[in-house]
Amino acid sequence: MESTKHMSHLFTPLKIKDVTFKNRIGMSPMCQYSSDDGVASNWHLVHLGSRAVGGLGFIMAECTAVSRTGRISQGCAGLWEQKHVDALKPIVDFQKSFGAVTGTQISHSGRKGSAATALSSHLDGDDPQGWETVAPTDDAFDPDGTRLWKAPRALSISEIETIQAQFVNSAKLALEVGYDLLEVHCAHGYLLHSFLTPLVNTRDDAYGGDLRGRARFLLETVKKVRAVWPENRVLSVRLSVHDFVEGGLDLEGTAQVGLWLKELGVDILDCSGGGAVPDARGAIGNRTAEQPDMAGELRKATGLPMMAVGGITDPLQAEDLIANSKADIVLLGREMMRNPHWAYDAAKALGADPRHVLAEQYGFFVGAS
Ligand SMILES: Cc1cc2nc3c(=O)[nH]c(=O)nc-3n(C[C@H](O)[C@H](O)[C@H](O)COP(=O)(O)O)c2cc1C
């Protein structure tokens, strides 16, 4: 069906490497607390599959742990052995059959791991006490202990190398699943971000100190991951572009990190914020509205394509971010949970042909409107 209607920027395809996004709308990664020992369930098929049916150009699966102890909670997703591949593959095949680009976000939770066990207390096989967590130092995320996180143990250098090997293992497994895009999670106070930010990393060895030292864990990991992630597929890094706390990371430092990542062959940055310390506002906190504009700043400073995220709900706002070169892809989190057919509504609002957006089965029924 050929469109005679205006094609908005949001609905203009994007090609990065050999990956073509049919539009610029993506779902942001969101933990679903519905895995058993990291293994995806029917919940994921519905959560991710319905957004593919809804016509998204890109769907990022939730933060997916590189090891059992790299999970945030007992219900979090994982990708450390074959059983995870076997559960994810049909889900990814389903999403692809509706033309969505698929991505996953590999992650280690660091000192924010072993948390929120109440969310998944129905699961057997895991110690209800959780597990020992690790971090740049042995300082707890929440020193007064009133919340969910326990005191971590500072990582040794050989343990850092072990975790880097786990990232590489997950990248290889992600390839086996068939993902088009792989993202390394370096935001929200999880392990890689906790090394990057001066708010947490006070180490005095090669993995601490100045920005270059604090970035070492991330940069080495990305270099190793890039070596196994095929050149023609997309590699992304999610950064907390700003810590939103005095003395924390800001745009200037993040831009430098972005340039280093670019040198290592990263194709796109995913611009989030906050989460390093309790008063730094969470990733879904009240400062997220500033993030989409920060993506534009980082795009200018690094020359890299950007994903913008945070408080995007309005099609005109999303269109503006792409049209004004602030971002190349917009990611929606909570709004996409509320409305899996947001892309259809956006097409109508922007004067694009909505019949192109939905899966054919739906388009047949509602496309004539
Ligand atoms: C339930 C929930 C789970 C989330 N899990 C993740 C995650 O796994 N990885 C991540 O990088 N961000 C995660 N986030 C943050 C979102 O990806 C997104 O950046 C944030 O919600 C702001 O976008 P929004 O205003 O469109 O919701 C989560 C957010 C929510 C609401």
| Amino acid identity for residue 361 in this structure | Q
- The residues annotated with a catalytic role in the active site are 190
Question: Which CATH number belongs to the domain containing residue 138 in this structure?
Answer: 3.20.20.70
By alpha-carbon position, which residue is closest to atom 26 of ligand 1? Answer: 333
> What does 20-86 look like in DSSP terms, one character per residue?
EESSSEEEPP------BTTB--HHHHHHHHHHHHTT-SEEEEEEEESSGGG-SSTT-EE-SSHHHHH
- The number of distinct structural domains making up the chain is 1
Taking the C-alpha atoms of residue 308 and residue 279, their distance in angstroms, rounded to an integer, is: 23
Residue 260 forms part of a structural domain? yes
- Nearest-atom index, ligand 1, CA of 238: 11
Regarding the beta carbon of 291 and ligand 1, being less than 6 Å apart is answered no
140-170 pLDDT, tens digit per residue, is 998 776 567 788 999 999 999 999 999 999 9
DSSP annotation string for 296-333: HHHHHHH---EEEESS---HHHHHHHHHTTS-SEEEES
**Domain span at 280:** 14-366
Does residue 116 have a pLDDT over 80? no
Distances (CA, A) of 331 to 46, 72, 92, 306, 351: 19, 22, 18, 10, 20
Whether 9 is covered by a domain: the verdict is no
Rounded distance from Cα 283 to ligand 1 centre (Å): 6
Domain contains 2: no
pLDDT digits 0-9 by tens, 30-87: 999 999 999 999 999 999 999 999 999 999 999 999 999 999 988 999 999 999 999 9
pTM of the model: 0.95
Q: Could you tell me if residue 225 is inside a domain?
A: yes
How many whole angstroms from its chain centre is CA 51? 16
Whether 1 is in a domain gets the answer no
Other Cβ atoms closer than 10 A to 328: 20
**Among candidate residues 105, 281, 256, the one with its CA nearest the CA of residue 189:** 281
CA-to-CA separations, 361 to 23, 98, 144, 149, 339, in angstroms, rounded: 19, 11, 53, 46, 18
- Is residue 139 in a domain? yes
Cβ of 166 closer than 6 Å to ligand 1, yes or no, is: no
Q: Worst-scoring range by mean pLDDT, 5-14, 266-275, 305-314?
A: 5-14
| The pLDDT value given to residue 368 | 46
pLDDT in tens, 225-249: 999 999 999 999 999 999 999 999 9
Chain position carrying tokens 């769907």 = 59
Q: Is the CB of 253 under 6 A from ligand 1?
A: no
Ligand 1 binding pocket mutation candidate from 31, 109, 112, 330 (most atoms within 8 A of CB): 31
According to DSSP, the residues that pair with 185 across neighbouring strands are 238
Say how far residue 89 (Cα) sits from the centre of its chain: 19
Q: Answer whether residue 208 is part of any domain.
A: yes
CA distances from 2 to 6, 10, 115, 164, 355 (A): 12, 18, 50, 48, 10
What lies within 8 Å, CB to CB, of 158 at 6+ separation is none
* Residue 303: inside a domain: yes
Paired with 183 in beta bridges are 105, 236
